[in-house]
Amino acid sequence: MSSEEAPGSSESDVTSMSYEDTELTLGLPGEGRSSAVIPALKCSAKRGFIETFDLNLGRCCNTSWGHRHSDKHVNESGAGKPPATKAQAVGWPPVRSYRQKAINESSKLYVKVAVDGAPYLRKVNLEHYSNYQDLMKDLDNLFTCFTIRNSNMEESKLMDVAKGMEYVPTYEDKDGDWMLVGDVPWKMFIECCKRIRLMKSSEAAVLALAPKASTPKCPSPS
């Protein structure tokens, strides 16, 4: 199997591919494949081809797609996909550059919102709001078991009617510190906010007292 060849070797083009063609194999190890030989043969030859092919691509086309492959051992198992890489190879995915730019620009101000006790996080785009009130209203909508107690930002707490707990909106800024939402002007806030956490009041009291926040028990970033 051409997987024995060193990734990125310059001989790994013509000869290894024809070797693959004649090789009988039911597929790369570690995969649950159907027992039909011919499709499996084609699938595995195909898979090997992609990986070898991308090794070549890594050399001559300088795509990060190819480079990623050449760093990994070719004998890869995994149901039909190349090693997961978030790098965008040239030409892939086929999205117009105009739209790609729009996607990249618009994700700038998306921040995760975590609520203590909630099973999952949400994401909001801070660009959509013009002030703190709008943000709080939307957070209220997203986490529907809570309601905003009052709109006065000095006492911005969310009241969980069912559980009788209070929540304080906090955020992590660019320096990694956990801050209370509402202190700085809105425009400044959206520039420096990296994520939001609705913290139980009991824990928030600790935050208010300490001069510099120690790492709170926030949900680990996924």
Partner 1 sequence: MLWVSRKTIKMNYFPDEVLEHMFFFITSHKDRNSVSLVCKSWYKIERYSRQRVFIGNCYSISPERLIARFPGLKSLTLKGKPHFADFNLVPHEWGGFVYPWIEALAKSRIGLEELRLKRMVVSDESLEFLSKSFVNFKSLVLVSCEGFTTDGLAAIAANCRFLRELDLQENEVDDQRGHWLSCFPESCTSLVTLNFACLKGEINLGALERLVVRSPNLKSLRLNHAVPLDTLQKLLMQAPQLVDLGTGSYVDDPSSEAYSKLKSVFQRCKSIRSLSGFFEVAPHCMSAIYPICRNLTFLNLSYAPGLHGNELTKLIQHCRKLQRLWILDCIGDKGLGVVASTCKELQELRVFPSDLGPGNAAMTEEGLVLLSEGCPKLNSLLYFCQQMTNAALITVAKNCPNFIRFRLCILDPVKCDPVTNQPLDEGFGAIVHFCKGLKRLSLTGLLTDQVFNYIGMYAEQLEMLSIAFAGDSDEGMLYVLNGCKKLRKLEIMKSRFGNAALLEDMGKYEAMRSLWMSSCEVTLGGCKTLAEKMPRLSVEIINESEQMEFSHDDRQKVDKMYLYRTLVGHRKDSPAFVCIL
Task: State which residue, 16 or 180, has the beta carbon closest to partner 1.
Answer: 16
Query: Which range in 69-77, 99-107, 148-156, 195-203 contacts partner 1 by CB under 8 A?
Result: 99-107
Find, among 182, 114, 107, 170, the residue nearest to 143 by Cα: 114
> How far is 109 from 93, CA to CA, in rounded Å?
23
Segment near partner 1 (CB under 8 A); pick from 123-131, 145-153, 155-163, 195-203 = 123-131
Q: Which residue's entry shows tokens 């957070």? A: 139
92 binds partner 1 (CB under 8 A): yes
The DSSP result for 2-71, as a single string, is GGGSPTT-TTTTHHHHHHHHH---S-STT----S-HHHHHHHHHHHHHHHHHHHHHHHHT--HHHHHHHH
- Say whether residue 85 binds partner 1 (CB under 8 A): yes
Among 39, 77, 194, 206, binds partner 1 (CB under 8 A): 39
- Residues 152-171, interacting with partner 1 (CB under 8 A): none
Q: How far is the CB of 63 from partner 1 (least distance, A)?
A: 9
Kind and range of the H or E element at 198?
A: strand 193-200
Q: Is position 120 an interface residue for partner 1 (rule: CB under 8 A)?
A: no
31 part of the interface to partner 1, by CB under 8 A: yes
Residues 6 or more apart whose Cβ sits within 8 Å of residue 150: 156
Interaction of residue 18 with partner 1, rule CB under 8 A: no
Residues numbered 40 to 79 that lie near partner 1 (CB under 8 A) are 42-43, 45-47, 49-50, 53, 56-57, 60-62, 79
Query: Which token pair is 41?
Result: 């043969």
Rounded distance between C-alpha atoms, residue 202 and residue 2, angstroms: 60
> What is the amino acid identity at position 177?
D
Positions in the binding site for partner 1 (CB under 8 A) = 31-34, 39, 42-43, 45-47, 49-50, 53, 56-57, 60-62, 79-82, 84-86, 88, 90-100, 102-103, 106-107, 125, 127-131, 133-134, 137-138
